[in-house]
Structure 1
Amino acid sequence: MSPEPLPDTPAPVTAESAAKQYKIWQVIAASAAGTMIEWYDFYIFGSLAPIISGLFFPKDNPTAGYLLTLATFATGFAVRPFGALFFGRIGDLVGRKYAFLVTLLLMGGATTVIGVLPTYTQIGIVAPLLLVVIRLLQGLALGGEYGGAAVYVAEHSPDERRGFYTSFIQITATLGLFVSLAVVLSVRLFLGEEEFKAWGWRIPFLLSALLVGMSLYIRLRLKESPIFTKLKKEGKTSSAPIKDSFGNKRNWKVILLALFGATAGQGVIWYTGQFYALFFLQNTLKVSFVHANIIVAVALALAMPLFVFFGSLSDRIGRKKVMMAGNLLAALSYYPIYMGMKAFSEPYNPIALTGLVFIQVVFVTLVYGPIAAYLVEAFPAKIRYTSLSLPYHVGNGVFGGLLPFIASAVTVATGNIYAGLLYPIAVASITFVVGSLYLKETKDVRIWEELEASRKPEA
């Protein structure tokens, strides 16, 4: 299972030759399938948050239990940057393929354990403590997974179509959420409400073991990234990726710009348009569990092709223009959208509610579709996995992942159902300003030129 080196030939390895040799669509399918399953594992917890709050926390204060569930949900996001550093280092030292094989196994094992975890009534306070530990493990795994998949696909893609090809990895996060909602709904409708709450909620978690096994089989058949293979063969990889990534002032500047000018806004828009919309429907507007999940699932399904559209568009007009448009539109639109959701909840209008959630997911596709290509192009190959993983997972794991808890807590504290929107609006606005002023356009970066540069002796 060791990586197969590229053949020694006088001609340099090019994007086109590597794409042909490594069969780009097989690479995308294998990478996307595994990443989708990891997102499914991570988000199944959020999809079942209302039920988990009553099973793993004391029932005497439902509001406190729900907020504690969201806080537990957020711990998995908060630890993602540490997973990014740990697995990013492995990916830059050992290889992209090895790193995301390990993350897949860790995530699948942790998710499966939730499916057999005793509840609060069975083992008391130990139940939520174990739940937090498992969420931490899931966060560590996801912190390493995304960077590996994004880099792996990008390093197989031609420079001029990188936005298009990497956008299929960008679909996986929303697809994972969609699959988690679909599985939850299917099991709930098949078993009925009482059986589902009693034990059926465990089935989506246990299903992870089967999905991970299938994905692991597919990924074991992959070769290593051609760019990484070539750099490693020539001794050009980093021996200390963390030091090389964060001990360099210039690289720190790029990391901070990537965070505040791209991923922070992208993170809050992602979680507002999908998770917070779901929580708002269920807990604020009191739309039933089944109907709320159907509304969000339909909106996700309708919007998913737009990830590829905007990823491809960024190949032509630039990553920056597409991402900044998404941040600006979201910041200006959230208040009227959520006021509209309130208006269409009484009397209940599922078509209008689905349309309003769909608009929010369109904003997600604008900011998220091009971002993998941008991050890959912003950093050199020898420290790419480590460097891009940190701003991505701080932006998504901290700024985005904490959003449901922060927004819900602000809403409870103020009594204003729209007050929680101040947080995503503020972060998206900051990202729009910083990104518009300082972010460099990267669509014309040629990462394959590093292979030629690596062949030349250093001066």
Structure 2
Amino acid sequence: MAKQSTGTATIPPHGISKKADSNSIWQVILASSAGTVIEWYDFYIFGSLASFIAAKFYPQGNDLVAYLSTLATFATGFIVRPFGALVFGRLGDLIGRKHTFLITMFLMGGATFTIGILPGYETIGVLAPIILVLLRLLQGLALGGEYGGAATYVAEYSPDAKRGYYTSFIQTTATLGLFISIGVILITRLGLGDEAFKEWGWRLPFLLSLVLVVGSYIIRARLHESPLFMKMKAEGKTSKNPLKESFANKENLKMVLLALFGATAGQGVVWYTGQFYALSFMEKVLMIDYMTCYMIIGVALIFSTPFFVVFGSLSDRIGRKKIMMAGCLIAAISYIPIYQAMHHFAGPIKEVSSATIGANGSVIPAVMQAVNPNVFMLTLLVFIQVIFVTMVYGPIAAYLVELFPTRIRYTSMSLPYHVGNGVFGGLVPFIATYVVAETGNIYAGLAYPIGVALITFIIGSLYIKDTRGVNITE
């Protein structure tokens, strides 16, 4: 770990590049955040449209199997994220932060746009799900390189005493990306109507990605490289082999493993439970109509997002570890009663339309729906879950950046982050939905995130050290 700072600001090295000094911290945050929001938007519209994708890209006959297949495809994007962290983390430590996250942005945008124009199963048969999985893998690779670059870039411009505060703005991007994806889907669906949206309108949110990526590139291209990286490069101190230095060095590998099991694994499951699984649970288990579900999630996200900055800033004063561990523990203890309360406030489920015979002779099943959900209480319960998210996620970028040296920072921090979020967190919707389907117990799926969050709390409380006040230039 780097040397403890006196709390004074990190001064960009003069004589290296006046261009690097010309970027204000707010320019850096705005440009980095804009691109990262778009990458998260691209990544999450897939999950938000899982039921529509299931109908188009997988053979029909069993809706649950098709939906689980889509969730599995969704999960592949998470599982491959650690490989993206290795590939692009290495590039970021070799050639620089800025150029690397420009590459990842175009890779993500291209894959997302292609999903929007990909023919379905009825047109190209088994090639449809195969190509879909490949595009999802590209999305995961891109996101595996994006976050570490953006977080490192902002952190290396930030003063030591306010690093939690400034990097917390990057932490809002995942939630904002989810919020924008839900908003775009909702507007498109309302504008086109259910039938047109189901037939072809679901493609529009994917196609919009191309416009967003071009706009983000224009903003990001004006930035200069991180001053810490430029200083290191000018002095000839960049790593020749970031992967070897990160994972063959026992001391650094120990830090990577502690960061994973003592911080990011629990953070990942809390993030995906509080936002993605909450949406899936309301829509698929509680049978609340999609409009109400999106409204509940959207309002909860609007009111909770500022708390990323609140807890990021608080971590500059009392430390990163205390807040993250408290978030994991409170979430683990609270999930069962929260989801029981969600079930209670969803109200009774009734048949709102009877089974009918379609034009092609197929049976259209009856529609079951919660008829009188308490929207206010459901929104409050989701809001509470997202507060847990802000506690574990707000400080974590600063924690990871401060844990590793500049020469291998991009590589070292990216891997535990993306294994924790991509594997442990990203599998929450699939594992929880599968366990509920297998057991018939609507709360059984929560065992997975509760277990991981508790493991992280125990390991993190015992073994990780706080990084607040570290001077990352040392």
**What range is the shorter-chain TM-score in?**
over 0.9
1:348 CA drift (Å): 1.1
Cα drift, residue 125 of structure 1: 1.2
Deviations 1:194-216 (A, max 9, x none): 11111110100000000000001
- In structure 1, the partner of 2:417 is 392
Q: Give the aligned residue type for 2:15.
A: D
Matched, 1:8 2:33: no
Match of 2:96 in 1: 95
> Is this contact kept in 1: 2:20–2:224, CA < 8 A?
no
CA contact (8 A) 1:19 1:157 kept: no
Distance (Å, rounded) in 2 between the aligned partners of 1:71 and 1:177: 19
Letter in 1 for 2:410: Y
Report if the CA contact (8 A) 1:323-1:368 is conserved. yes
Work out the CA distance in 2 between the residues paired with 1:158 and 1:30.
18
Which letter does structure 2 place at the counterpart of 1:445? V
- Which residue number corresponds to residue 161 of structure 1? 162
- Residue 22, structure 1, aligned to residue 23, structure 2: yes
Go from structure 1 to structure 2 and tell me whether the alpha carbon gap of 1:282 and 1:413 turns closer, same or farther (over 3 Å shift): same
Aligned to 1:417, the other structure's residue is in SS state coil
Q: Is the 8 A contact 2:264 2:416 kept in 1?
A: yes
Give the counterpart letter for 1:58 in structure 2: P
**Secondary structure, in 3 states, of the residue corresponding to 1:167?**
helix
Letter in 2 for 1:126: L
**Residue in 2 that maps onto 1:123:** 124
**What does residue 454 of structure 1 align with?**
none
Report matched runs for 1:335-354 at 5 Å. Answer: 335-346=336-347, 347-354=372-379
In structure 2, the partner of 1:456 is none
RMSD: 1.4
User: What is the aligned partner in structure 2 of residue 49 from structure 1?
Assistant: 50
1:131-188 per-position Cα deviation (integer Å, ceiling 9, x unaligned): 1000000000000000000000000000000000000000000000000000000001
Secondary structure at 2:283 match in 1: helix
Range with greater deviation from structure 2 (19-28 or 276-285)? 19-28
**2:254 match: secondary structure:** helix
* Letter aligned with residue 166 of structure 1: T
Q: Structure 2: which amino acid aligns with 1:39?
A: W
Deviations 1:271-329 (A, max 9, x none): 00000001001100111111111111111111000000000000000000010110011
Measured in 2, the distance between the counterparts of 1:266 and 1:91 equals: 24
Residues 20, 227 of structure 2: 8 Å contact kept: no
> 1:104-253 maps to which residues of 2 (within 5 A)?
104-253=105-254
Determine helix, strand or coil for the equivalent of 1:122: helix
- Deviation, 1:229, is 0.4
Paired letter, 1:27: V
The residue correspondences of 1:39-78 to structure 2 (distance < 5 A) are 39-78=40-79
Task: Name 1:457's counterpart in structure 2.
Answer: none
Q: 1:434 aligns with which of 454, 459, 462?
A: 459
Separation (CA, whole Å) in 1 of partners of 2:113 and 2:56: 17
Q: Which runs of 4+ in 1 moved over 3 A?
A: 17-21
Q: CA deviation at 1:38?
A: 0.2
Deviation at 1:118? Answer: 0.6
Give 3-state SS (helix, strand or coil) of 2:119's partner. Answer: coil
CA distance in 2, matches of 1:166, 1:358: 22
- Whether the aligned pair in 1 keeps the contact of 2:19 and 2:224 (CA below 8 Å) is no
Q: Which residue of 2 aligns with 1:369?
A: 394
Where structure 1 has 5 or more consecutive residues not aligned to the other structure, the ranges are: 451-459
Q: 1:39 and 1:405 mapped to 2: Cα distance? A: 19
Displacement, 1:57?
A: 1.0
Please, what TM-score do these two structures have when normalized by structure 1?
A: 0.94
Letter in 2 for 1:330: A
Structure 1: how far apart are the matches of 2:379 and 2:50? 21
Mapped pair 1:424 → 2:411? no
Q: Which residue is equivalent to 2:380?
A: 355
1:291 and 1:54 map into 2 onto residues whose CA distance is: 22
1:115 match: secondary structure? helix
Query: Superposition pairs for residues 76-87 of structure 1, below 5 Å?
Result: 76-87=77-88
For 2:134, the aligned partner's letter is: V
Cα distance in 2 for residues equivalent to 1:270 and 1:236: 37
Paired-residue identity, %:
66
Aligned amino acid, residue 398 of structure 1 = V
- Cα displacement (A) at 1:21: 3.5
Aligned-residue offset at 1:90: 0.2
1:453 matched residue in structure 2: none
Q: Which runs of 5+ in 2 are unaligned?
A: 1-11, 348-371
Aligned-pair distance for 1:7?
Answer: 4.9
* Distance in structure 1 (CA, Å) of the matches to 2:15 and 2:63: 65
How far apart are the structure 1 equivalents of 2:15 and 2:447? 57
- For residue 53 of structure 1, what is the amino acid of its counterpart? A
SS at match of 2:117: coil
> Aligned with 1:8: secondary structure?
coil
SS in 2 for 1:286: coil
Cα distance in 2 for partners of 1:258, 1:69 equals 30
Distance in 2, Cα, partners of 1:23 & 1:263: 29
Between the aligned partners of 1:124 and 1:336, the Cα distance in structure 2 is: 44
Aligned to 1:305: 306
Question: Secondary structure of 2:158's partner?
Answer: coil
What's the counterpart of residue 455 of structure 1? none
User: Could you tell me how far 1:58 is from its partner in structure 2?
Assistant: 1.5
CA displacement at 1:8 relative to structure 2: 2.1
Q: Which amino acid aligns with 2:77?
A: G
Instruction: Report the equivalent of 2:352.
Output: none
SS at match of 2:205: helix
Q: CA deviation at 1:375?
A: 0.0
Q: CA deviation at 1:230?
A: 0.2
| Alignment check: 8 A CA contact 2:13 2:228 kept | no
Q: 2:15 and 2:313 mapped to 1: Cα distance?
A: 33
| Deviation, structure 1 residue 22 | 2.1
Deviations 1:68-99 (A, max 9, x none): 01000000000000000000000000000010
Deviation at 1:330, TM superposition (A): 0.3
Which residue does the alignment assign to 2:278?
Answer: 277
- Matched residues in 2 for 1:199 and 1:274: separation? 26
